[in-house]
Structure 1
Amino acid sequence: MLTRKSKLTLKKMASLFSVIRGYNIWVIVLAQYLSAIFILAPEKRALDIILDWRLLLIVLASTLTIASGYIINNFYDAKKDLINRPKKAMIDRLVSQETKLKVYFSINFIVAFLMYFISWRAILFFSTYIFLIWFYSHKLKKIFLVGNITASVLAVLPFFGILMYYKNFYEVIFAHALFLYLLILIREMIKDLENMEGDLITDYKTIPVVFGEKIAKTIITILTFCTLIPVYFLIEIYDVGYMDIYFYLSLITLLFFVMLLWKSSSKTEFLKLHFLLKFIIVSGVFCIILIEPSVLIHGKKLISTY
């Protein structure tokens, strides 16, 4: 039998897990390793990449930084989340704001310590990343359009940390990054539609709040069709092996997404659209294994000849 104190401790651990969104962390770790193996360093053996202790530290620092970002974001959004997500907010409040800040600063210190073993550039990169997450949560998030753009950039930034480590700057990587960025930007705007009530009360200047739901849907639709640009390059120009199946299915799903978008009007319906986009993004992580590394290596050689 668990004592009352043990039950309270478990509840607080579950609360902290909810705050840092631990259910997302494993996806980020998997995405970084698969990206390193199949996209960022296709010329290296998979085992060499997995056993690379420097890469392990960079991935660990990335996930810890993202976790600390969720904590500071939760700290500033406490009032808004109580309106938009009351059940989750009540679970999150089992851990005090003071404890959250202590964990936040402890995690950031650990990140800086880990990067000490890599290089001063790594320390600078992650210090900047940590600062940008805090500045976004504290100030930028409430600024019209800037909040959406910044949130999307911060979501893809960890992959650029690995990109800088391998120094493989070739075009196909940026096509992948653009597709992911657009999906995340669309998801951020869907979240704005989903959280309109809380944004209005807490004075967040989002597109739905400033211009209304119809304009927001129009912008989301335009961004959705913009995903055709990176997909065209990935399928027709660079060739990503069997992963083109994923991109074709993604385009079909996004067309279905746009149709549902214009029929949606309630928070529940927008939440479903949010999960649909999340499904596309997570599916993309697993479908990275469909890329033929030799294709990317050949593409890299072609680019280096110019």
Structure 2
Amino acid sequence: MFTRKQRHILIKFFSLFSVVRGYNILVIVIAQYLTSVYIFAHNIPVKKVLLDLNLLMLVLASAAVVAAGYIINNFYDSEKDLINRPNKSLLDKLVSQNTKLSFYFVLNFSAIVMASYVSFNPVLFFSAYIFAIWFYSHKLKKLPIVGNIVSALLTIAPFFAIFIYYKNFDTVIFVHASFLFLIISIRELAKDLENMKGDLALNYRTIPVVYGEVTSKKMITFLMILTLLPLYLLITKFEIGYMTYYFYGAIILLIIFLSLLWKSTTKTHYIILHNILKVIIVAGVFSILLIDVDLVLKRIL
């Protein structure tokens, strides 16, 4: 049995884990390593990629900055989250704001130290990334359209750090990135629909609040049409192995998503839509393993 002190520490840990969304951080770390092995450094032996200390520092720095970003976002959105996510907010509040802010500065400082191990350029990149996340959380998040675009760009920024490190400019990378950017942009709009109650109460000028639900749904539909271009290119023009099946599955899920979107009217409906997009994103991370299974097995052996 746990003592009272041990239970208190455990509860605090889960509270902090909830604030930094540890499960998202884990997915980002896995995604960065998989993209490094299969896409960015596909000509380098797997063992060399996995044991690359510079890559490890970049991945850890990315994880630290993203975790810090969740903390500062939680700090500015605490009132809104109390309306939109009351249960999660109660868990998050078990850690004081002072503790969260202290951890925020520690994480960002650690990221800069780890980036400095690689070179000065990553230090500049992560410094700009830290500032961009803070500026988004403090100012841009409440602006329609601009906030959505910046949020999507900040989400894919950790992969840009790896992209710069390997200096791989293959066209397929940009096509993958455009698909991911569009899916994340759709997710941001779906989140705005889901969180409309809190946004209205606290005067967040999101697209559903300013322009209405119908306009938001039209914009989502337009973005989904745009995703057909990278999907078509990835399936027909590039060698992506068995990952083709993932993109066929993504098309099916997007069709289901679109059919449900125009029937959705409640928060529960929008949560379901948001979860469909989460499945597409997380499945996309692990489907990278399907790009060239035989070749990677040879590289390992």
TM-score, structure 1 normalization: 0.94
**Structure 2 partner of 1:172:** 172
Query: The residue matched to 1:74 in structure 2 has which SS?
Result: helix
Query: How far 1:179 moved relative to its partner?
Result: 0.3
Tell me, in whole angstroms, the C-alpha distance in 2 between the residues paired with 1:123 and 1:294: 37
Change (3 A) 1:223 1:92: same
User: Who is 2:109 aligned against?
Assistant: 109
2:62 maps to which residue? 62
Match in the other structure for 1:217: 217
- Structure 1 CA distance for aligned equivalents of residues 143 and 212 of structure 2: 16
Q: State yes or no: 1:269 paired with 2:269.
A: yes
Q: 1: CA distance between counterparts of 2:56 and 2:184? A: 25
Q: Number of paired residues?
A: 295
Q: Which moved more, 1:285-294 or 1:229-238?
A: 285-294
Partner amino acid, structure 2, of 1:123: V
Residues 21, 127 of structure 1: alpha-carbon distance in 2 compared, 3 angstrom cutoff: same
CA contact (8 A) 1:240 1:292 kept: yes
Deviation, 1:108, is 0.6
Provide Cα deviations, 1:68-110, integer angstroms capped at 9, x if missing partner: 0000000000000000000000110011111110000011111
- Rounded to whole Å, the distance in 1 between the matches of 2:42 and 2:111 is 27
The Cα shift of 1:231 comes to: 1.0
TM value normalised by structure 2: 0.96
Q: Distance in 2 between matches of 1:7 and 1:39?
A: 43
Q: What's the % identity of the aligned pairs?
A: 55
The alpha carbon displacement at 1:293 in A equals 8.3
Provide the C-alpha distance between the structure 2 equivalents of 1:252 and 1:3, rounded to a whole number of angstroms.
50
The amino acid across from 1:270 in the alignment is: Y
Asked if 1:145 corresponds to 2:145, the answer is yes
1:182 is aligned to 182
Q: What pairs up with 1:20-31 in 2 under 5 angstroms? A: 20-31=20-31
**Aligned counterpart, 1:301:** none
Q: CA, structure 1 residues 293+121, in 2 after alignment: closer, same or farther (shift >3 Å)?
A: farther
Instruction: Report how far residue 2 of structure 1 moved.
Output: 2.9
Is the partner of 1:227 in helix, strand or coil? helix
Structure 2: runs of 5 or more not aligned: 296-301
Shift in Å, 1:178: 0.4
Equivalence for 2:298:
none
Deviations 1:138-187 (A, max 9, x none): 01100111111000000001001000000001211000000001110100
* Equivalent residue, structure 1, for 2:299: none
Instruction: Say if 1:42 and 1:294, in contact at 8 Å, map to a contact too.
Output: no
Give the aligned partner of residue 72 of structure 1.
72
Shift of residue 131 of structure 1? 0.6
Q: Structure 1 CA distance, aligned partners of 2:202 and 2:146?
A: 17
Structure 1 counterpart of 2:237: 237
**Equivalent residue, structure 2, for 1:302:** none
Structure 1 unpaired stretches of 5+: 296-306
Shift of 1:238: 2.0
2-structure distance, mates of 1:252, 1:22? 29
Alignment of 1:1-306 (within 5 A): 1-292=1-292
Distance 2:7 2:284 in 1: 38
For residue 156 of structure 2, what is the amino acid of its counterpart? V
How far apart are the structure 2 equivalents of 1:288 and 1:114? 27
Q: What is the one-letter code of the residue matched to 1:253?
A: L
The alignment partner of 2:242 has SS state of helix
